Structure 1
Amino acid sequence: MTVGISLPAGGEQGENLVTTLLDQARQAADAGIGAVWFSQRQDLDALSLAALTGQAVPGVRIGTSVVPLYPRHPITLAAQVRTAQAASGGRFQLGLGLSAKFFVEDSYGVPFERPIRHLREYLEALGTLLHDGEIDFQGQTLRARTAFGPAGVPGAPPAPVLVAAMGPQALRVTAELADGVLPFLAAPKALDDYLVPTLNSAAAEAGRRPPRVVAMLPALVTTRTEELRARAHEDLTFYERFPSYRDILDRGGVERAGDLFALGDEEAVAAEIRRYREAGASEVVVTQTGFGTEEERLRTWRLLGELARQEAGAGE
């Protein structure tokens, strides 16, 4: 099982945020962490950061968690993916998400209509572009045509595509057309009872092998458990308003999103990470490691590197 982190971790400082994040990616790799995933924000571009990191930090796998597919066209996204894949020497993995209606429409002025149909057509088009380099596709929500012929980048094999899918319909589409899922705030119970069986069943029906399950888990090694738990409840309340997150929380038997923030000493955080593996996660990506102090972040990263080394040793 790969153990990764998500950047920005929170609380980054410095005169140049991109430089800071590259330095943190090097620091994570030095600690033994196997993968670095970049969050897409409105101030930073995750794909650009992934490409830069792929060149600057050898060995570590890189990804995005996640890039909203609205309003990017798959031809444009495929070009960005090829660039990041070539820059990293084949170590890039694309994390995609539908986002939410209010965000897409308010931010971009793009109608959020028939999202499951759009996800299906988007994944079909993107998969064709990444594998074949050209497309002439006309769907119900999407038109894509490579007017200038095949497009390919030497050194850029097709990158894995993962989707931040949690609803039943999105999981089925993902199982048919993508390589895995990136669920956030999906408790071990939700993984074990619902998400993994739904995903694997849909993959079997489509004649495909079980997709990867890359569980995103907020976690921090700290002695300030009660203080930070109260803050986590406040900071993660945002997610409780979204139907998809509310549903996955309910399936996991979780009332407050902040309850899923793994807080405590090394033993407590490691035990929580192992619960996700036992529930069916093939990988765990730890988020919000900058939630506390710099010392707490570094302590957490040292633990994650040690867990990665233990996993590697167990697999030999």
Structure 2
Amino acid sequence: MTLGVTLSSTHRQLPVDATVGLAREAHGAGLHSAWFGQTFAYDSPTLAAIVGREVPGLHVGTAALPVFGRHPLLVSSQAQTAQAATGGRYHLGLALGTRHLTEAAFGLPYQRPVGLLREFLTALRPLLDTGEADFHGELLTATTPYSAAVPGARPPVPVLVAAMGPQALRVSGELADGILPFLAGPRALAEHIVPAVTAAARAAGRPAPRIVALVPGVVTADPEGLRQRAAEALALYGTIPSYQRVIELSGAEGAAGLAVLGDEEAVAAEVGRYRDAGATEVVFTATDLGGEEARRRTWKLLGELSGGPSAGSLG
């Protein structure tokens, strides 16, 4: 199992050069991947492409681009450019987003989200594989009068979806390479999420999907004190129905109850629980909540658990 960290989020926006510096530190610690959330600030595929090119060997990913307000042709161009720039180390994450942000920010009705996801993935897949598309759906159209292939964008960009609900998991298993569940604890993964997406992939004749679990976590000597800060940082997710559901399925009282906080032994044990629940990769988020010393301890542990700089690869 490979391990990574997020380097940007809604509460952490750094200058590009500072982000590159952090990515070098993460790679030096033995981490395999760095992921970038899509906010209203940086364009995450562009930032990932810059970081991946500046830090050879580090895999980079977007977690995740909402499909509302975007088009498969444009996303394909972004993803393929990032793939070519990084030498095949880019991973595209997509998401349904939320009703509030979709309607308030984009002015778009949040209608038939799973249907849109299915059509988006159906149109996007051939674009990434061959540079060609001829898709006419109910919700979108994507056609290529000439090739949309980007030279050097090989292997084809892997596509993951931030899916946790039954319908989104079914679509992701059929059409994507894996999923990016956030705030889904080991119980929810093992009993609900992994079986559903794996069964959908098997029924579609696809390989077993990647399960990239995004987990808020920090190595700290003060877990209870830090849990209050985690509760504040994660408060928004407790108001979103899809997260409320998965938090409940995980057996937690709130989002902060899923934060992995403790010393090295305790955090390592929790990483093992995610692995046993079916996660193929674990990406720690919010590692800066405890300050710089705690972040460095966290990254050092994760690097050691993943086997150091020379161990394994994603994909």
Q: TM-score, normalised by structure 2?
A: 0.95
SS at match of 1:58: coil
Deviation at 1:12, TM superposition (A): 5.8
The CA distance in 1 between the partners of 2:61 and 2:4, in whole Å, is: 10
Secondary structure, counterpart of 1:309 in structure 2: coil
Paired residue for 2:148?
Answer: 151
Contact (CA 8 Å) 1:9, 1:291: kept in 2 or not? no
Partner of 1:136: 134
Counterpart mapping for 1:191-230 below 5 A: 191-230=189-228
Aligned counterpart, 2:176: 178
Would you identify which runs of 4 or more consecutive aligned residues in structure 1 move more than 6 Å? 310-315
- How many angstroms apart in 2 are the aligned matches of 1:307 and 1:117? 39
Matches within 5 A, 1:275-286: 275-286=273-284
Residue 42 (structure 1) aligns with: 40
Q: How far apart are 1:235 and its partner, in Å?
A: 2.3
Give the aligned residue type for 1:249.
I
Count matched residues: 312
Superimposed CA distance per residue, residues 217-251 of structure 1 (whole angstroms, 9 cap, x where no aligned partner): 00001112121111212221211111111111111
Which residues of structure 2 form unaligned runs of 5+? none
Q: Distance in 2 between matches of 1:61 and 1:73?
A: 25
1:314, CA displacement in angstroms? 10
Deviation at 1:181, TM superposition (A): 0.3
CA contact (8 A) 1:10 1:289 kept: no
Q: Structure 1 residues 253, 49: CA separation in 2 closer, same or farther (over 3 Å shift)?
A: same
Relative to structure 1, is the Cα distance of residues 19 and 151 closer, same or farther in structure 2, using a 3 angstrom cutoff? Answer: same
Cα separation, 2, equivalents of 1:11 and 1:296? 18
**Counterpart position of 1:27:** 25
The one-letter amino acid of 2:153's match is A
> Does the CA contact (< 8 Å) of 1:189 and 1:253 recur in 2?
yes
Alignment of 1:1-316 (within 5 A): 1-8=1-8, 17-147=15-145, 149-157=146-154, 158-309=156-307
Pick closer, same or farther for the CA change 1:19–1:280 going to 2, 3 Å. Answer: same
Cα pair 1:216 1:287 within 8 Å, conserved: yes
> What is the Cα deviation at residue 35 of structure 1?
0.6
* Displacement after TM superposition at 1:312 (Å): 7.5
Equivalent position amino acid for 1:153 in 2 = V
Instruction: Measure the CA separation in 1 of the matches of 2:224 and 2:244.
Output: 24
In 1, Cα distance between equivalents of 2:312 and 2:268: 16
User: How far did residue 260 of structure 1 move?
Assistant: 0.7
Q: Once the two structures are superposed, what CA deviation does each residue of 1:108-157 show, in whole Å capped at 9, x if it has no partner?
A: 1112111111000000000011112121211011111223x112122102
CA offset at residue 168 of structure 1? 0.2
Partner Cα separation in structure 2 for residue 229 and residue 203 of structure 1? 36
CA contact (8 A) 2:60 2:90 kept: yes
